[in-house]
Chains A and B, each alone.
Chain A
Amino acid sequence: MRYDPRPPAVPPPVLLHLTVQGDAVSVSDGLRRVMALPFWSPMSADFATSAELVLAEVLNNVAEHAYAGTSGEIEVSLERTAAGVAIRVADRGGPMPQNRLPEGAAPDPRDLQEGGFGWHLIRSLARDLTYRRLDGWNLFSFRIDDLPPAKQSH
C-alpha cells in the first residue's frame, strides 16, 4: 500500500445552528450566509433551492406575524440526514392563530392575489411539518428530502 500524503478529506458539518433577528432584512442576510456554507455541498442545487425557499417562508412568517411590531430572535437548527435535511425553528413571538398551522390551500392563480402563497409553498416542499406552542415558544419542525419528486398520477 502506497503512502498517501494528502490529508483525509474533512466532511462538511452535519449539524448547523443559527440565530437570526426576527425581521425581513436579518432573515434575508442570514439565509444568504447560511446557503453559502459547505453544509449544503453534498446536496443538489435544486434541493438547496427548495430548502432555502421553505426556510425563507417559515422565517418570514415568524418575522411578519409572530414578532409583528416587536423584535426577537429566531433559532434555527439544521441536521443533514440520509434523505436530506431535518430543520427545527423556534421563536418567542405570538402563537399561530388557533395554535395550529394554516392549511396552505393554494389561491387560484387567475385571481392574481399578491399574498397567501407562503404556506402553500412550505407544504408543497416540506414533509412531516409539525407545530407546537410550549412555554411561550413556537416550535416548528419539518424535513426536506433530496429525492426526485414523486411522479404525478394522471
Chain B
Amino acid sequence: MLVISVRSDRIDAASAIAFKEDLRSRIEHGPPRVILDLSQVTFLDSSGLGAVVAAKKLVGPGRSFELSGLTGAVEKVFRLTRMDSVFTIHASLPQAFRDAV
C-alpha cells in the first residue's frame, strides 16, 4: 500500500500540472493499493480535480486508487461533479487503514 499525503493547501490551476506530474512519478509503478490523503487541502478547483482523475486513470483498473480526508471545500467539488460516485472515499487516513480489505 502506498499513501501519498498532499502537503499543499491548494490544488488549483497554478499547481495542477506540477501536482499531476509529481503524482505520476510516485504511482506509476507502485503497489496495488494507493491512498491519496487530501486532509490538508482546503481548496481544489476543476484543474485540481482533473489532476486527481488523471491519477486514478494512471493507476488503472487492476489496482485501487482511493481518497481520504476530504475537507468541506474539496468534498463540495466532488459532490457537484458527481465524482464522489466513482472514487472510493474514506473519511480519514486512519479510517482508510481500517477499511483495508
Please give the residue numbers on chain A whose beta carbons come within 8 Å of chain B beta carbons, in ascending order. Answer: 24-25, 27-29, 32, 45-46, 49-50, 52-53, 56-57, 60, 63-64, 106-107, 109-110, 112-115, 117-118, 120-121, 124-125
Identify the B interface with A (CB < 8 A): 10, 12-15, 43, 45-47, 49-51, 53-54, 56-57, 72-73, 76-77, 80-83, 85-86
Q: Known contacts A60-B47, A63-B13; is A124 also within 8 Å of B86 by CB?
A: no
What's the Cα separation between A64 and B53 when bound, in Å?
20
A-B interface pairs (CB < 8 A), number? 79
Cβ contact within 8 Å between A49 and B73 = yes
CB contacts (< 8 Å) of A57 on chain B: these are: 45-46
| Dominant SS among interface residues on chain A | helix
The answer for the CA separation of A113 and B77 in the assembled complex, in Å, is 14
The 7 closest A-B pairs by CB, nearest first: A28-B14, A114-B50, A24-B13, A24-B14, A117-B46, A49-B73, A60-B13
Report B54 CB to chain A, min CB distance, Å: 5
Given the contacts A53-B77, A109-B85, A28 and B49 also touching, CB distance less than 8 Å: no
B86 to chain A, nearest CB (A): 5
Q: Is the interface of B mostly helix, strand, loop or mixed?
A: helix
Whether A53 contacts B13 in the complex (CB less than 8 A), given A114-B54, A115-B46, A118-B46, comes out as no
Bound CA–CA A52/B9 (angstroms): 14
Interchain CA distance A118-B44 in the complex, whole Å: 12
Contacts of A125 in B (CB 8 A): 80
Q: Is the CB of B12 within 8 A of A24?
A: yes
A114 touches B53 (CB 8 A): yes
Instruction: A29 to B12: give the CA distance in the assembly, Å.
Output: 11
Which of A56, A113, A114 is B13 in contact with, Cβ under 8 Å?
A: A56
CB contacts (< 8 Å) of B43 on chain A: these are 49, 52-53, 56
Closest-by-CB residue of A relative to B73 is A49
Interchain nearest-CB distance for B80 vs A (Å): 5
Chain A minimum-CB-distance residue to B47:
A60
Apart from A52-B73, A110-B86, what 13 extra A-B contacts exist at CB < 8 Å? A46-B76, A49-B72, A49-B76, A53-B45, A53-B73, A56-B43, A60-B47, A106-B82, A109-B81, A109-B86, A112-B57, A118-B46, A121-B46
